[in-house]
Chains A and B, each alone.
Chain A
Amino acid sequence: MLSVENLSVSFVTRMGTNQAVDDISFTVQSGKITAIIGESGSGKSVACYSLLGLIPQPPGRIDGGRALFNGQDLLQLDTDELRKIRGRDIAMVFQDPMTCLNPYMTIGDQLMEPLRYHKKVSRAEARARALELLDEVGIRDPASTIDNYPHQFSGGMRQRVMIAMALINEPQLLIADEPTTALDVTIQAQILALLAALQKKRDIGVLLISHDLAVVADIADQIVVMQQGRIVETGDRDAIFRNAQHPYTQKLLQAIPRGGKPVALPVSEPLVTVRNLCTWFQSDKAPVKAVDDVSFDILRGEVLGLVGESGSGKSTIGRSLLRLVPVTSGTVHFDGIDVTALQARELKRLRRRMQFIFQDPFASLNPRMTVYDTLAEPLLLHDIETRSTVGAHVLRLMDDVGLARAAVRKYPHEFSGGQRQRIAIGRALATRPDFVVADEPVSALDVTIQAQILELMRELGREYGLTMLFISHDLAVVRQLADRIVVLHRGKVVEQANTEDLFARPQQAYTQQLLQSIPGRAVRTL
């Protein structure tokens, strides 16, 4: 139905020409889901957007190729002709449902817009159709919510609205760009299932863009793998998963978290004891109970995984342990010392022994300090080194986290995301702490980089003899590192167990639901 041949797209900027898409060819068949996989910067989105004329030109430029859709070359159409196809024959669903709906219009108006514009139907008719579709995508009570504004819906609901909007003209092809990346795992599973069901029912073609092989594994028929603007491998799903040819595809497959940590549990006494911890935040009305009566232990030398969806309070717990947020009640004992009762001076001494690794490597480094300054700061502060000896120590840290020594005078913006996270890890380990809280340390990174950083953390954890609280929304990632897991839901502990036990025999309904939502089940059964 859609056949792309030798498409090349480049971006011309003052710094030079950047070949974003380099001579790629692929097809999308009617009634099938075709997935394009690639990491950020691989050109997957640019390729799809250029089909519909949705990349800004300039700086974007289509250098050549054809895109035959029902025998018509999309790349040759002028803007008006292309516009008649957009939203009618080919519709799109975007990544972030929080920003892709117009906040100033009711969802009903936005939903009816493509229908009213392309098919010139009456308002009443369009409204009736919109209500039907909202019902079909699983919006409860559409009649009373159709006149609401987007901010009144949750992320998952907005993505359902986006899907309804894309389908309202019954297009032949649906392009979905990372449709679940911004959503929680359980919601992600629901949206993927919904997409697959709607596609089956309508028998249309779907082009699914994703960075996550595991996500597409469950629903895609065809897989196209892109790297740095080129297609490195194409094939149907089973072939790709069973018998990937290209080394990059193999690397992506290996990066899918599978299986757990092989090491047996060290049996030891607790290093951190959390009892009845409550962290509430003041708001206009009732206090927000971000963490509500939580108790658990972290044993010396173990990695404890803390898992939950957004709003579960997992980050707040991590911050509470290190007194980065004020604790409302309860106690946190670290090596016998009650952290919640410490005065500023004692707390500073303790901070040398407990450190934090943050999620966003772009925000966690001071943009105006060099790597040298960033890494030297804790060493000087805690009198571990003097000004004259600190240089050697900084370079050793650079070696430890796998950064080139020559880059020590550079600033954070000159590094990639993965490299920045290495700097942040170096800073956290500089004082040789006993205990580290790692808050989603890999979720902002590309999958292959994720695997590298996880490997680094595993190695350094052993080398430095660390006890770690590993916080993540992603059970599959936690499974690779954690000895034990605590599952959180809305500020409360739902279940805690050894990692293997939790995966084999989840006790609570919520844990079961989380486990079933982990994408890529199809891969694991292959």
Chain B
Amino acid sequence: MWRFIGFRVLQSIPVILVVITVTFFLVRLAPGGPFSAEKAVIPEVKAALEAQYGLNLPMFQQYLAYLGDLAHGDLGPSFKYPGRSVNELIAAGFPVTAELGLYALLVAIGIGGIAGVVASLRPNTAQDYIPMSVAMIGICVPSLLMGPILILVFGIYLEWLPVSGWGDIPGDKILPAITLGSTYAAYIARLSRAGMLEVMSQDYIRTARAKGLPEWQVVVRHALRGGMIPVVAFLGPAFAGLLSGSFVVETIFQIPGLGRFYVQAAFNRDYTMILGATVFLAVLIVVFNLLSDILAAWMNPRLRSQYGGGA
């Protein structure tokens, strides 16, 4: 198992390097530098500004300098908000996004997992069709539509829940979490149903029944673990999806999270902010992919022992 983890960690390092490199050069290759766009700046001022941010150095040297800063965890200053560093902006926005993502993940796993398992127990009956139809709606109504509709119904017509902000009024976290989580709840419901159906048709489930175990024990003790492996393996990609989904949800509900900063930075052409946030999010996603892979592998005893150590 340790060898497997070590192998996967090593594999992630080039990925992270590629992310940093590609992002850096993409941003630098962008037509029009940060100070050439909107306002006409006097050449001397521009040169002074560029010198201050190190933009007058050769590209490769800038890249090395950036890597050096990254190694210290320094993502550089913001071009648009003088005096504030990218680190500060991320530190301000990320906790909000992380909280939103966590709630959405809980919604997704809780509702999706239960719905999928329940549906799988009686395939092709109402107990299967109803949750799976709801899941289909969750997949086909994207968050950019789900959010406004929820606002319209629960915020405007019924006036049950607040429709914007984060942590200002009680209950204002409910709609964003549901909006962001609904698509993934739907995917998890489908995945866990498929996983459970696959496992429930295995011979060892028949063995468990032949032992005389009651059905709930057959499901919980024998089927759940194997059936949930695909769901666990999906958590990595789901996490990446939640992060990018938060761009939309934070925009809809006006939540001061990292996603909204990111989109604003994109419009403002705040290059260091985009660069820093991309690197930050990308590393986070790579790490989560790694964790979900390791967890899924650990749940499978054959993989666990195949790579030595562990079991």
Contacts and interface: CB of A to CB of B under 8 A. Distances in A.
Interface of A: 52, 54, 80, 83-88, 91-92, 94, 96, 99-105, 113-114, 117-118, 149, 151-152, 162, 165
Contact of B225 (A101, A104, A114, A149): A104
A151 B301 contact: yes
Contacts of B214: 80, 83
Contact of A103 (B206, B208, B210, B301): B301
Given A88-B212, A104-B299, A114-B212, 4 more contacts: A86-B210, A87-B212, A87-B213, A104-B226
B226 A103 contact: yes
Contacts of A94: 203, 206-207, 210
A100 B206 contact: yes
Contacts of B210: 52, 54, 86-87, 91-92, 94
A114 B299 contact: no
B211 A96 contact: no
B81 interface: no
Contacts of A152: 305
A118 B212 contact: yes
B206 A114 contact: no
Contacts of A96: 203
A141 to B, nearest CB: 17
B311 interface: yes
A284 to B, nearest CB: 10
B209 interface: yes
Interface in B163-219: 202-204, 206-214, 217
B133 interface: no
Interface in B269-311: 299-302, 305, 311
Contacts of A92: 207, 210
B80 interface: no
A83 B217 CA distance: 12
22 contacts: A54-B206, A84-B212, A86-B210, A87-B210, A87-B211, A99-B202, A99-B204, A100-B204, A100-B207, A101-B207, A103-B204, A103-B301, A104-B222, A105-B222, A113-B213, A113-B221, A117-B212, A149-B302, A149-B311, A151-B305, A162-B207, A165-B211
B161 to A, nearest CB: 42
A103 B222 CA distance: 9
B180 to A, nearest CB: 32
Contacts of B208: 102, 113
Given A99-B203, A99-B204, A104 B209 contact: no
Candidate in B204, B208, B214, B300 with the most chain A CB atoms within 10 angstroms: B204
A85 B301 contact: no
A85 B212 contact: yes
A52 B206 CA distance: 11
Nearest to A86: B212
Interface string B238-281: 00000000000000000000000000000000000000000000
Given A94-B203, A94-B206, A99-B202, A86 B302 contact: no
Interface string B10-32: 00000000000000000000000
A91 B209 CA distance: 10
A134 B305 CA distance: 22
Which 10 A-B residue pairings sit nearest by Cβ, starting from the closest?
Answer: A87-B212, A86-B212, A87-B211, A99-B203, A149-B301, A92-B210, A102-B204, A114-B211, A100-B203, A104-B225
Tell me which of B211, B213, B305 has the highest count of chain A C-beta atoms within 10 A of its own C-beta.
B211
Contact of B305 (A86, A101, A149): A149
B82 to A, nearest CB: 56
Identify which of B202, B203, B299, B300 gathers the most chain A CB atoms within 10 Å of its CB.
Answer: B203
Nearest to A117: B213
Contacts of A54: 206, 209-210
B203 A103 contact: no
A118 B217 CA distance: 13
Contacts of A162: 207
Contacts of A118: 212
**Interface-centre pick from B208, B212, B222, B311 (highest chain A CB count, 10 A):** B212
B212 A83 contact: yes
Nearest to B225: A104
Contact of B209 (A84, A86, A101): A86
Contacts of B212: 83-88, 114, 117-118
A58 to B, nearest CB: 10
Nearest to B224: A104
Contact of B300 (A52, A104, A105): A104
B222 A102 contact: yes
Nearest to B301: A149
Contact of A113 (B211, B299, B305): B211
A484 B221 CA distance: 53
Contacts of A149: 301-302, 305, 311
Contacts of B206: 54, 94, 100
Among A54, A91, A100: residue with most chain B CB under 10 A: A100
A104 B301 contact: yes
Contacts of B305: 149, 151-152
Contacts of A84: 212
A87 B299 CA distance: 28
A83 B214 CA distance: 7
A151 B210 CA distance: 21
Contacts of B222: 102, 104-105
A503 B100 CA distance: 76
Nearest to A92: B210
A91 B207 CA distance: 10
A114 B217 CA distance: 12
B120 to A, nearest CB: 14
Contact of A117 (B202, B211, B226): B211
B178 to A, nearest CB: 33
Contacts of A151: 301-302, 305
Nearest to B202: A99
A96 B203 CA distance: 8
Nearest to B215: A79
A470 to B, nearest CB: 32
A87 B210 CA distance: 6
Nearest to B303: A151
A32 B222 CA distance: 33
Given A117-B213, A118-B212, A102 B302 contact: no
A84 B311 CA distance: 34
Nearest to A147: B311
A434 B212 CA distance: 58
A86 B226 CA distance: 24
A214 B108 CA distance: 56
Contacts of B300: 103-104
Contacts of B226: 102-104
Interface in B29-87: none
